[in-house]
Amino acid sequence: MKGIPHEIAGYTVLPLQLPKTPTFPTPATHYLYLRPHEPRIPDPDSPRSLFLVNVPIDTTETHLRHLFGSQLSAGRVERVQFENIPTKKNAGQILTQGNVAKSKKRKRVTADELQNQLDDIELPSTYDRQLQKSGAHAVVVFADKPSMEASMKAAVKAAKRDVKIIWGDGIEDRIPPLGLSRYVGHDLYRYPDRKELLRTVNDYMTIFTQVAEARKKEQSRAAQEPDEDGFITVTHGPRLNSVAREEEYKEMVEKQKKKSEGLEDFYRFQSREKRKEKQNDLLKRFDEDRKKLDELKKRKGKIRVSFIPTKLSCMG
């Protein structure tokens, strides 16, 4: 289009024509910005990825696959990672406790890896498709680097030649519709299938238990390692925290009860002895006071108590 630059700040500007709708029949143009993906911390997928900015709000992975694979006829897309939506590319690579046990060489699964699996488990969605926020970005990972480079060249060529690209043209039957149908489906998806809901909850609780056990083992191993000064903290008995089992707590209480059996009489004997010692102490003090009084009588003579008579007068 005339007056629109083909490149801005290193981004190629690709015009997309939004399809007409019954409520808005006027054609509109949306501008997509793309460049090779260059994150601050590169990963193995960075050389074969494109970074897209300002994707349309109705963008799905099907849209981008169709754009680069059919409309631009360039490269094959492997996956798409949208903004604020975590990718599950390693979901099949992370093994659970049960799968590890079957392998020849047992691999220790850390609590953090299990926690990542736990975070990936979600309840069934109540919408049949996700909408993007305005101005959102996405990372498109291609099958290989040549596919990425061919897609980038095709986008630059289409932008310079003002090739008309209608967004989502030819895939209307492959994506869920928007509008009223979206909210009718949402009303149905609010009540997911019982089997699907039960499976999700069971998966969550299974991995949650594995995370708790892994955390407990890691804490036990850390407690056995010496600190900076070379000392190992010695603790007595099980730690009664959120991970401790109720059976261990009951066993400890029963053992304590058995240890305290037969000690009731011993404590009563001690209390009787204390009372006797206190009585003897009082008697000893009484004898000492009586002796002191006798000595005073001998020194000063007998002590006489006299009563002074008083006259009482009555008024007649």
Position 73 confidence tier, pLDDT thresholds 50, 70, 90: confident
State the pLDDT at residue 266.
Answer: 59
Position 265 confidence tier, pLDDT thresholds 50, 70, 90: low
Query: Do residues 31 and 54 touch, judged by C-beta distance below 8 A?
Result: yes
Helices (H), the chain: 61-66, 97-102, 111-120, 145-160, 180-189, 194-223, 246-260, 264-300
Indicate if the pLDDT at residue 208 is higher than 70.
yes
Percentage with pLDDT > 70 across the chain:
76
State the pLDDT at residue 307.
Answer: 54
pLDDT, one tens digit per residue, over 157-178 is: 999 988 899 999 889 888 888 8
More confident residue, 241 or 39: 39
Position 242 confidence tier, pLDDT thresholds 50, 70, 90: very low
Count the neighbouring beta carbons within 10 Å of the beta carbon of residue 104: 4
More confident residue, 26 or 150: 150
Average pLDDT for 26-38: 92
Distance from C-alpha of 133 to C-alpha of 135, rounded to nearest angstrom: 6
State the pLDDT at residue 91.
Answer: 42
Query: Do residues 243 and 215 touch, judged by C-beta distance below 8 A?
Result: yes
Position 60 confidence tier, pLDDT thresholds 50, 70, 90: very high
Highest mean pLDDT (candidates 52-66, 75-89, 182-196) = 52-66
pLDDT, one tens digit per residue, over 283-313 is: 999 999 988 888 888 887 555 555 555 554 4
Average pLDDT for 94-115: 59
Position 48 confidence tier, pLDDT thresholds 50, 70, 90: very high
Side by side, the strands of the sheet bearing 7-8 are: 7-8, 11-18, 28-36, 49-53, 137-142, 77-82
Dihedral angle, C-alpha 104, 108, 109, 111, nearest 10 ° = 160
pLDDT, one tens digit per residue, over 216-233 is: 888 877 777 776 776 766
State the pLDDT at residue 177.
Answer: 87
Distance from C-alpha of 35 to C-alpha of 153, rounded to nearest angstrom: 10
pLDDT, one tens digit per residue, over 87-103 is: 444 444 433 444 444 44
Among residues 206, 218, 221, 192, the alpha carbon closest in space to that of 117 is found at: 206
Distance from C-alpha of 145 to C-alpha of 277, rounded to nearest angstrom: 95
Average pLDDT for 18-26: 84
> Tokens in use for 245?
């089992």
